[in-house]
Structure 1
Amino acid sequence: MTPVRILVVDDELELERLIKQRFRKQITAKTMDFIFAANGIEALHRLQHDRQIDMVLTDLNMPEMDGFTLMQHLPKVNDTLKVVVISAYNDMARIRQAMNAGAFDFLTKPIDFHDLKQTIEKTIESVQRLRHQKIQAQQFQEALLEAAFHDTLTGLPNRRGLCHHLNHLFDQPKLPMEHTTAVLFIDLDGFKQVNDELGHLIGDELLKQVAQRLVPCLREGDLVARLGGDEFVIVLSSIVDGTVAIAVVERIQAQLKKPFELGGVQIVIGASIGITIGKLTDQPPEDLLREADLAMYSAKAQGKGCYVLFNAIQQP
């Protein structure tokens, strides 16, 4: 079990001795670990280099940096820390000032160590609850981000994820001039017939298996996304020439021509693929997508399993 780690900030050496004596069993059993600092400056230095501290016990009157100033800095260092003030001054005005500065609790000197033990337990429980809530909130935000940028059926990036990737490439420091980007627009041949004859559940399973076959065709750093329906887009970043794109297209076509086993039925499909190659220094990402889309329609018009380069299309 990870010990509870408590930073004690006080310039009285006698307090350090008493804490080590009264909590000897917990320290030996490694359920508690006390770290000591003589003032706020030393405490901040320790906190900046040790992110595992759970709570702070601090006096108010100390040389160089007092407890009030220390509490002002703590949220910037670790916003889950809780502070318990230990002070010989127990007037209501001082207690209120400490609580307004962010103290979780206030104990008076001389310290009742039974009370201190209970206060530590209560404070640590609050810290753990706060950290758990923070982790849950972070996980929720990550799940929302995942859902926003990924296709729920295949797990691939969706249209928004694709655009984010392209814009990221566009905003990066420019690659050497000989490097270009290729965009492949893929439309499955015969997918509508599968949906109509075998149903949408089989169609969905086919799309998932297509996604699984596309991913291994790519190089590290490339991306495949599903735009919707049976349309997929692949981005090949930093290629030297079009032979790389053609090689990837040929791998894709070889993979998609292999039969798919779906619901006890063997299904054979192919893909029409449009290819455009260009420099993101010369044209925005949406232009590359549009060109690849046009090339795909030209490939589809030539028959199943074809691919067409955009610059090979006769432009009006």
Structure 2
Amino acid sequence: MAKILVADDETDLEMLIKQKFRKQIREQKYEFVFAVNGNDALNKISEHPDIDMVLSDINMPEMDGLTLLGKLNETSPLIKAVIVSAYGDMENIRMAMNLGAFDFLTKPLNFEDLELTMAKTMAHVLQMRETLKAIRENNILRMYVDESVLQFMNQRNFENSITVNETIEATVVFIDICGFTMITENEPADIVVKMLNTYFDVIVKEIIDQKGHVDKFIGDAVMAVFRGDFHLDRAIETSLNVRRKIELLKSSEHHGITFMPKVSIGLHTGEVISGNIGSASLRRLDYTVIGDVANTASRLKGVAEDGQIIIAESSYEKVKESFNCRMLHEVVLKNKARPVTIYEVLD
């Protein structure tokens, strides 16, 4: 239903419009709001933010139609205005168009012409809103989806190739906020979400700075993937920076308990399967990585204590000349036939 504001100091116009458009009003095709001048029109727009278009006279007391046009451009650029005036000279038409009027009609009104003009104006308004919606959705998509995925989606054969996958060399990192369950169990939802988003912002910035990709958020943990040159080194650099930045954050007091933010981190490197995992028929897919490397990284995170960055011996052998590490002990990881020797990455 289109909501239309009519601004005119001729009060009989309200009755005339209600009579001429009674069928459309009854069928809820149109809803009309009426104002007697420009000031009144602006007040009505504040009361009815879902107004789609304005039909406005030029000569009105307090605020004329041309001034109203200027105000609409400043405050409500998505509302399109059609000038309806007895003064149809070229000067008024040009002034109205220069101020952003969508069209110009002269009195006495031809109501068939008016309805055609309203339909044309509404089509333009809807097109603008669809365009803005698409832009917003695209910007939101870019916030959550890796650029390579967007390029993949732009391929002409996207629908046919949505389940394509590949095997790549990568490093998977799991970063967990230690002890955050205590906060979720004792604090209101808005405090929990605000705190968690603050920590995630710090973590994500460091991942992006090292050209990593945030794969997903899992509760109070982040899964990140690094690929390309020196992906293991960049993943460890990220982990060190995340630990440092998180520990610089201020502590929080909650019900007499002081919460000091810390992270526990596990990472592993090797071959992973990368692709759209999920249900194509349901159109619920995650562009993610799976395989032993991702599973091992998750389990290494599970054995990491507060503030620890844990890697397996296979990763240590690749970075021992670049990073200061110390051997800890052997651990038994799920689905691993043999115990795994783990190392802690130090500053």
Which TM-score band applies after superposition, normalised by the shorter structure?
Answer: 0.5 to 0.7
Mapping for residues 178-197 of structure 1, pairs under 5 Å: 178-188=258-268, 192=270, 195=271
Could you tell me how far 1:179 is from its partner in structure 2? 2.1
| Corresponding residue for residue 27 of structure 1 | 25
Cα deviation for residue 175 of structure 1 reads 2.6
Asked if 2 retains the 8 angstrom alpha-carbon contact of 1:275 and 1:307, the reply is: no
Q: Output the TM-score relative to the length of structure 1.
A: 0.61
Cα shift readout 1:97-118 (whole Å, capped 9, x = no counterpart) = 0000110000011111111000
- Does structure 2 retain, via aligned residues, the 8 Å contact 1:185–1:273? no
Structure 1, gaps ≥5 residues long = 211-229, 233-255, 257-269, 278-291
**2:68 is matched with which residue: 67, 70, 83?**
70
**Paired residues for 1:160-175 under 5 Å:** 175=252
- Corresponding residue SS for 1:16: helix
Determine the C-alpha separation between the residues in 1 that align with 2:293 and 2:85.
Answer: 64
Contact 1:86 1:106 in 2 (8 A): yes
User: Which residue matches 2:161?
Assistant: none
CA distance in 2, matches of 1:166, 1:67: 60
User: What is the aligned length?
Assistant: 233
Task: Give, in whole Å, the separation in 2 of the partners of 1:53 and 1:99.
Answer: 20
Letter of the 1:304 partner, please give it: V
- With the length of structure 2 as denominator, give the TM-score of the two structures: 0.56
More helix by percentage: 1
Letter in 1 for 2:42: L
Matches within 5 A, 1:232-243: none
Q: For residues 243 and 49 of structure 2, what CA distance do their matches in structure 1 show? A: 36
Q: Secondary structure at the match of 1:302?
A: strand
Q: Larger strand proportion, structure 1 or 2?
A: 2
Correspondence for 1:206 among 291, 295, 308? 291
Residues 175-234 of structure 1: per-residue CA shift (max 9 Å, x gap): 33932001111135xx64xx4xxx746993237974xxxxxxxxxxxxxxxxxxx756xx
Residues 89 and 146 of structure 1: CA distance in aligned 2, closer, same or farther (over 3 Å)? same
Q: Which whole-Å CA distance do the structure 2 matches of 1:51 and 1:130 have between them?
A: 16
**Cα deviation digits, residues 235-280 of structure 1 (max 9, x gap):** xxxxxxxxxxxxxxxxxxxxx4xxxxxxxxxxxxx65754445xxx
Q: In structure 2, do the counterparts of structure 1 residues 108 and 167 end up closer, same or farther at CA, with 3 Å as the change threshold?
A: farther
Letter in 2 for 1:180: M
**Separation in 2 of the partners of 1:131 and 1:64?**
31
Range 141-150 or range 43-52, more displaced: 141-150
Question: What SS is found at the alignment partner of 1:73?
Answer: helix
Task: Label 1:130 to 1:170 Cα distance change in 2 as closer, same or farther (>3 A).
Answer: farther
Give distance in 1, aligned partners of 2:246 and 2:9. 54
Q: Which amino acid aligns with 1:293?
A: I
Structure 2 match to 1:155: 216
Of 103-112 and 77-86, the range deviating more from structure 2 = 77-86
